[in-house]
Amino acid sequence: MTDRLQDFLPQFSTAPIDLGSSAALTQSYEAGHAMGKAYSLDDLNQERLVEDLQQMLNVYQALIDRGGLLPFDVMQEGACTSDVTETRRYILSRRIERAPSIRKEVLEKLPPICQACRLDPAKHYSFRGKIDHYPLDIHHSKPIQSLAEGESRRYRVPDDFMVLCPTCHRMIHKQSDPSDLEALKSIIRNTS
């Protein structure tokens, strides 16, 4: 541990500790001691103790971030790790404007059940939320991405929309014709 936390060593002592007992648990604590601080009663105050405890939490976090107690060679090979770095970014992009009320309108007119796989959130997951909060997607049966720049298209509710679970919605977009619900249903039937 101390090899992995060299930058913290000036703030803490690495000297062995003596807890004044020969009990097994005490000996384990003494053997497991990597670094710490000792205080005299005259020198102890709440502010200093809180600062030192916060610094010790920083040490533990650094140890975790640096691989915990894994040997260096294991860490360097990347074995036993599946860390992912995520970054929040703001991107300026062009987008297709959708009518904001369309989801609610479609779900008020069509049953809140996936039209491809028949997933019913109320039946299968005991979902009892508002209709417009159902975990279902609304899919344009005439793909909206085919619109040219500045072009508008009138869609009829509910005729020009499908209610799909997120998985089926993703899969219908992978088809050559993302409006072909029957093709998606056929794939589901043939794999069930």
**Sign of the C-alpha dihedral computed for residues 33, 38, 44 and 50 taken in this order:** negative
Contact assessment for residue 136 and residue 187, using Cβ atoms and an 8 Å cutoff: no
SS3 140: strand
Give the dihedral of Cα atoms 119, 125, 128, 130; nearest 10 deg. Answer: -50
**pLDDT value for 62:** 84
CA 18, 72, 16: angle at the middle one, nearest 5?
10
Query: Residue 92 carries which DSSP code?
Result: -
Most confident of 10-24, 61-75, 178-192: 178-192
In this predicted model, what pLDDT tens digit does every residue of 116-147 receive, in sequence order? 999 999 999 999 888 878 899 999 988 777 77
Short-list 60, 38, 59, CA closest to 49: 38
Residue type, 88: R
Residue 19 has pLDDT above 90, yes or no: no
Kind and range of the H or E run holding 186: helix 181-191
Q: CA-CA distance, 9 to 81, in Å (whole number)? A: 26
**pLDDT value for 37:** 87
Contact assessment for residue 163 and residue 136, using Cβ atoms and an 8 Å cutoff: yes
Residue 71 has pLDDT above 80, yes or no: no
In this predicted model, what pLDDT tens digit does every residue of 27-60 receive, in sequence order? 888 888 888 888 888 888 899 889 988 998 888 8
Residue 182 has pLDDT above 90, yes or no: yes
Residue 1 has pLDDT above 80, yes or no: no
Q: CA-CA distance, 166 to 170, in Å (whole number)? A: 6
Residue type, 183: A
| Residue 164: strand pairing partners | 137
Residues 153-166 as b or e (16 or more Cβ within 10 Å = b): eebeebebbbbbbe
**Average confidence score pLDDT of the chain:** 84
Residue 91 has pLDDT above 60, yes or no: yes
SS3 75: helix
